Structure 1
Amino acid sequence: MGSNDFVTLFFLVAAVLIFLQLRSVLGRRTGNEKPPFEPYSPRDLAKGPGSEDGKVVTLPRREDAVADERFASIDGFAKPGTPLNDSLREVVKHDPNFNPKEFLNGARMAYEMIVMAFADGDRKTLKSLLSREVLEGFEAVIADRESRGEVVKSTFVGIERAEITQAAVKDNEELITVRIICQLITATYDKAGALIDGDAEQVSEVNDLWTFARDVRSRDPNWKLVATESEA
């Protein structure tokens, strides 16, 4: 046997030994193996991810859940199907952050601040809470009172009731009207200190309809008083 034949025979024997060794390590096919997974096969694409036997489970969208939650707060505040409920829902569509209970809490605080600032002639506080038109009216009354040397002394007893009566969105402006019934002690004195109006000891009931507004395009979350009306 020549040297070339010996080399050929050597490699042939080596190949057979390597094959037998791999066969013992990897095992043999039995016919029961699962077919190889093909992630982009037509069958798997038809099923879709997260599905079983072609049945796709659709999860609720986050934005739908948030919208339902916002409208639930409206339905818990005003009876569904009423004009007030419909108008508050319209406000929420333009201003997703609007919450009627939170707004009403803020309106109660603003009411007390405005009433007391008006009595004290505090123009700085009024400027931050009133629209330009309402501020001009309040300042005119304060200036007239000051020109006569009159002084108003008020004690805010508390708010008996506060409720939203109307809501609307007009020209990108939210408008919320609130009826507020409060108890107040107020007395006006002339420059000589004589009582000319009110009673320094008697608690009076005040019934107001105030309208607050806010531009839905503004990043400023604060509302301003744009209209006032007193009810008998």
Structure 2
Amino acid sequence: MGANDFITLFFLVAAVLIFLQLRSVLGRRTGHEKPPADPFSARQSIKTTGSEEEKVVTLPRRETVDEEQRWVEVDAIAKPGTELNEGLRHLIKADPSFRPKDFLNGARMAYEMIVMAFADGDRKTLKGLLSKEVYDGFNAAITEREARGEVIKSTFVGIDKTDFLQATVKDQEELITLKIVSQLISATYDRDNKIVDGDAETVGEVIDIWTFARDIRSRDPNWKLVATESEQ
């Protein structure tokens, strides 16, 4: 082998090694990567628990409907003349694309995702669905739980009821408060795998008062959980 052939072979081997190193560090894009799922976005589908390939929930599209139909929908949710009815009407005037029923569907999915993500300590999912203040509280609780060596095992049974409690627009921000009644099996285990809280077999009723918010001025259609309260 001549000197020139040896040099050519050397650079060829070096180029292959560099390519392999870069691919291992940066990964490969296949063109099928998916953004994080968001329950309030109409542009995505959300995979639920169970078979990841078989269970897919397609969210309704956000679209503006005629004014009369919007008011009929509001009146079906809240009695005309009530504070809630007026609040929903005011919110729709500020955001014509808002549909109460579509919002409830997204809120139910968000609720299950948040409850299960908290139990699993899934900070990534929580960060995309919570305001900074609420996330900080959830994160602190997860960190304390991890420090004690505790693990929560939960099974989400379902949501029995979801009701609007309040709807307002304040400083260009839409705020909606819901009462959510769900069924959950949940137990907390210590380092020795002994139950220290909850029940691993009994289905318990959970009543939460959650408030979601969205900036009307933003092009982002997504809502975030900004306040939580449990009803005993």
Q: Which has the higher strand share?
A: 2
Letter in 2 for 1:121: G
Instruction: Output the aligned Cα RMSD.
Output: 1.1
* Counterpart-to-counterpart distance in 2, 1:191 and 1:98: 47
Following superposition of structure 1 onto structure 2, how do residues 39-118 of structure 1 map, counting pairs within 5 Å?
Answer: 66-118=66-118
Following superposition of structure 1 onto structure 2, how do residues 1-232 of structure 1 map, counting pairs within 5 Å?
Answer: 66-232=66-232
Q: How far did 1:164 drift?
A: 0.5
SS in 2 for 1:158: strand
Letter in 1 for 2:196: I
Q: How far did 1:219 drift?
A: 1.0
Letter in 2 for 1:216: I
Q: How far did 1:80 drift?
A: 1.4
Q: How far did 1:74 drift?
A: 1.4
Q: TM-score, normalised by structure 1?
A: 0.71
* Counterpart-to-counterpart distance in 2, 1:76 and 1:194: 48
Letter in 2 for 1:229: E
Q: Render the CA deviation track for 1:133-178: whole Å, top value 9, x for unaligned.
A: 0000000000000011110000001101111110100000000000
**Of 170-179 and 71-80, the range deviating more from structure 2:** 71-80
* Counterpart-to-counterpart distance in 1, 2:72 and 2:156: 34
Q: How far did 1:127 drift?
A: 0.4
Q: How far did 1:71 drift?
A: 2.1
Letter in 2 for 1:105: N
Q: How far did 1:76 drift?
A: 2.5
Identity %: 67
Q: How far did 1:122 drift?
A: 0.1
Letter in 2 for 1:134: V
What runs of 5+ residues in structure 1 fail to find an aligned partner?
1-64
Per the alignment, residue 11 of structure 1 pairs with none
Q: Render the CA deviation track for 1:80-101: whole Å, top value 9, x for unaligned.
A: 1111110000000110011111
Q: TM-score, normalised by structure 2?
A: 0.71
Q: Render the CA deviation track for 1:65-123: whole Å, top value 9, x for unaligned.
A: 93233222212322211111100000001100111111111111100000000000000
Letter in 1 for 2:69: E
SS in 1 for 2:193: coil
Larger radius of gyration: 1
* Counterpart-to-counterpart distance in 1, 2:99 and 2:120: 31
**Of 144-153 and 71-80, the range deviating more from structure 2:** 71-80
SS in 2 for 1:191: coil
Report how many aligned residue pairs link the two structures.
168
SS in 1 for 2:202: coil
Letter in 2 for 1:69: Q
Per the alignment, residue 54 of structure 2 pairs with none
**Does the aligned pair in 2 maintain the 1:77–1:101 contact within 8 Å?**
no
SS in 1 for 2:77: coil
* Counterpart-to-counterpart distance in 2, 1:96 and 1:204: 38
Q: Render the CA deviation track for 1:177-203: whole Å, top value 9, x for unaligned.
A: 000010100000011111111110011
* Counterpart-to-counterpart distance in 2, 1:157 and 1:117: 15
User: 4+ runs of 1 displaced by more than 6 Å?
Assistant: none
